[in-house]
Amino acid sequence: MDDGRSITDIQPHAAGNFGPLVKVRKFVTHVEEILHDFGPTADRPWVKGFIAAVCANPYAGRYQEDLMPMMDALKPLGAAMSERLIATMGGADKVTGYGKSALVGENGELEHAAMWHVPGGYAMRELIQPSKAIVPSSMKVAGPGRPVDIPLGHVNAAYVRSYFDSIECSIPDAPRADEIVWILAMMTGPRINNRAGGLQEEDVIGEDGNR
């Protein structure tokens, strides 16, 4: 997306309130531009990054049988975060790898993190076309400052080894006990100096999400 808007212009809920179940305390964006990895310098930097939304967990401290309302409520957040990260990466046409994660504070449960699969994954896939491959995912329960590795993979072919990677997210004050950190990650190409063989990016068919 290169339409002249800033990152803050793309966020439609200025107060961080996406409804009663999704209240954002803050957003964190991290971007890396890798020039080389102890080998030849790349023709263009390899860019990878993530956006994280630190949110209140509406189900913290209690067991909630039906979690589907939160999954539905997260969809606007997933769309807004996808747009913001795509803009940071230079546009949807530049994004060739993606992943997602969720980090739940200690008063929540792992199943709360699973509510991110549809809102986070499908939001990216709707904006990055084509995107046939499943979005790699990780999730964990942990306290403030604890890291989580977001796995990354090719957007159209899971078997492209040069895209097997991850990016670490850690936020010093999140998640607090009653919070969840929702995370989306993207990258603009394969690992620099990749030499692992296997299916090459230029040979991807991109029909079944595998090859």
99-140 pLDDT, tens digit per residue, is 999 999 999 999 999 999 999 999 999 999 999 999 999 999
28-73 pLDDT, tens digit per residue, is 999 999 999 999 998 899 999 999 999 999 999 999 999 999 999 9
- Residue 17 pLDDT: 81
- 2 pLDDT band (50/70/90 cuts)? very low
Q: Output the six-digit token pair for 141.
A: 């329960």
81 closest CA partner among 19, 132, 174, 13: 13
133-161 pLDDT, tens digit per residue, is 999 999 999 999 999 999 999 999 999 99
- Residue 31 pLDDT: 98
> Burial letters for 191-206: b for 16+ Cβ neighbours within 10 Å, e otherwise?
bbebeeeebebeebee
- CA 191, CA 209: separation in Å to the nearest integer? 20
Domains and CATH numbers, the chain: 7-203 (3.30.1330.110)
